[in-house]
Structure 1
Amino acid sequence: MKKFGSAVVLAGGKSTRMGFDKQLLNINGKRLISWIIEKLKDEFNDIIIVSNKPQYYSEVDCRIVSDIIKGMGPLSGIHSGLMNAKSQYVYFIACDMPVININYIKHMKKCLDNGNYHGCITQVNDWIEPLNAFYSKSIISAIECQLNRGRRSVFSLVKSLDFYIVNEVIARKFSPDWDMFINLNTIEEFNEFKVLQEKKGIGVNV
């Protein structure tokens, strides 16, 4: 099995605060998730979308899978992604995270090359960023144990295992404005992102 090669886009969630399903967000006239997939293909040859609405993806050029353990939030999606991935380490991002930082992805890969870690994740003070991160297939049983006990917390999972932790100082060298961790939860956040992108000459619409 290859060490790297698979990337997973988590496309779950209820999108309650957005007012419509975030899986349908568009950027510059194209579905945001399609744009994310195109960017990921610069670094990965196996792209997976985890969604419980596979009917949204009939024209998307990647594999579509659903949660195996239902109703347990993002950790269920991580579990399904790892189960279906073709590489040892798997990159995870969400469908509402519009900024793909390839240089940071390459940095995390280098970090994982230096030891036998369960993944690579970014920490800010006492908080971790659960996505824009790598997880190893070796933790599938640990995730199943946690989910079967009714525990959904990615944070507690990471703290119980041996992850390579990238601190904020290092991460900000790749993303000074922290845009690689932006996620669009509300229409206000989407509009703010739209303004920023328009200033860069990139049109955004829904």
Structure 2
Amino acid sequence: MNKEENDNYDFLFKIILIGDPGVGKTCVLQRFKSGIWIESQSSTIGVDFCMKSCNIDGKIVKLQIWDTAGQERFRTITQTYYRSANGVLCAFDITSESSFCNLNRWMEDVARYCAGDALKLLIGNKCDKVNHRVVTEEEATNVATNWEALDYVETSAKDNTNIDHAFMKLASELVKKHSNPNLQQGDLASKGFSLANDRKSISSKSVCC
């Protein structure tokens, strides 16, 4: 995609990807961005981000996706990226009880630092390891409901299961939310939402993919 095409969009949304270290956040993002799965990924240091454009109902939607480190020592750094997020993808590993139990901590951070109208989606990654599952779909769905998330989606970066579906689900709901014709551009901008004529310059040094 050339620069001119990259600058031509109708919506720009910031999405943060959060969850414990090792649940596969970077693999999920890499699979969505490039269609590639790399089994051995180094841990994210602080935050990385990438951009991807998609077409939703004839609208060009640019997603700015921030992959946050799950380690406790980066928590103060990553929390600063919550504030202007339009959407949140919270991931856990269906084979890891601790990553599921720690969802409470991540939800508390979202409630504390994200805008109240940020949309949330819960994903249970590594669903290809069905024989090692320790968290049931029912348990995760209940958590998503209690969290007032849009949905619970089980994914596998390895098998490319529901990766596009998860991101597109969140993006589609964001488009619906911000397509209210009664809102003026100024109102949208105040909610962290950008139109095509509100250009954002992002340093290429920060792009992870």
TM-score (norm 1): 0.32
TM-score (norm 2): 0.31
